Structure 1
């Protein structure tokens, strides 16, 4: 089963692969700061077309956007564009999937983290992001020498979040769990 996991944002993380294999992953900027909001969904759809040029995934799973009322009430300042972008990107995924008859599903971040980490958060937002990033390295989905350079918005966080979504889809939808861990560069049985 070919699965695509997405972390939808201006810098979208992706992980594409079959259950039981390491995914091809990374992040792509679907909207630059100077671009209008309407360009983000177009950028995402163009990227998805390129990514799936040689074959469509069986399932696309993406991290569910934070509900507007929760996003507005969490104390973090956000622009109108920042509040609307996740909804527009979610619609872009659906628009991409419908004519190609690709199944799609959204999954809540807390569900993904509970699967990957054993609990949904590690206290604050930054500690939780670091835990997801480190777990992806332990599972061998990110290089052991990968390092975060920008604590607030490093593209590796987006990539790690997409890998986490992909890992959840492998376990929950393809019924596969990893059999190896990579600790200090060594391959170990899980």
Structure 2
């Protein structure tokens, strides 16, 4: 279903990448660090507070969250704490979004990477670097791979659900003219 409006895209992790904006414009990128020197329930509490406040104060028309990789699919590349953080935050963000009545979509990592990077066959580190490089080519100021991944999810969602690509592309290092 095509619609117009703003998209909030999330690359969920302890340092969550966030991309927000209207497709066709430059997204606002940020990284939210939910870590602390305390227990997991407090970590979850910070995530709940952030998401609820975000949806209250600057509600998007759509939230898009990268699908969590099931623990069986990440064997050898994750541990119990990381799994608890990723799955827990996925549930928190999806649940609050649904509770608030905001349209919620999920992005498969392979699908958004194929769209944004041209391939889903890169190793993790290569894909992170490629996402940052792609953001730079587009003139988007991604400070880290969390923001770059969120930008890729946001771009995919804009094209997939709202039929929009950026109005201005910077594919070969050119700069905006005054």
Shorter-chain TM range is 0.7 to 0.9
In structure 2, distance between residues paired with 1:15 and 1:61: 10
Per-residue deviation, 1:187: 4.5
1:181 maps to 169
Runs of 4+ aligned residues of structure 1 deviating over 4 Å after TM superposition are: none
SS of corresponding position for 1:94: helix
User: Which has the larger share of helix?
Assistant: 2
Number of aligned positions between the proteins: 172
- Does the CA contact (< 8 Å) of 2:25 and 2:167 recur in 1? no
Q: Is the 8 A contact 1:20 1:177 kept in 2?
A: yes
- Structure 1 71/20 Cα, relative in aligned 2: closer, same or farther at 3 Å? same
5+ unaligned residues in a row in structure 2: which ranges? none
Q: TM-score, normalised by structure 1?
A: 0.82
The one of 15, 19, 27 aligned to 1:11: 15
Give the distance between the partners of 2:17 and 2:92, measured in 1 at CA.
15
- 1:86-125, aligned counterparts within 5 Å? 86-122=86-122, 124-125=123-124
Higher strand share: 1
* CA shift for structure 1 position 99: 2.7
From the superposition, tell whether residues 113 and 71 of structure 1 become closer, same or farther in structure 2 (CA, over 3 Å).
Answer: same
Contact 1:26/1:159 (<8 A) preserved: yes
1:40 aligns with 2:43: yes
What is the alpha-carbon root mean square deviation over aligned residues?
Answer: 1.9
Runs of 5+ consecutive residues of structure 1 not aligned to the other structure: 147-155
1:49 deviates by 3.1
Measure how far apart 1:117 and its partner are.
1.4
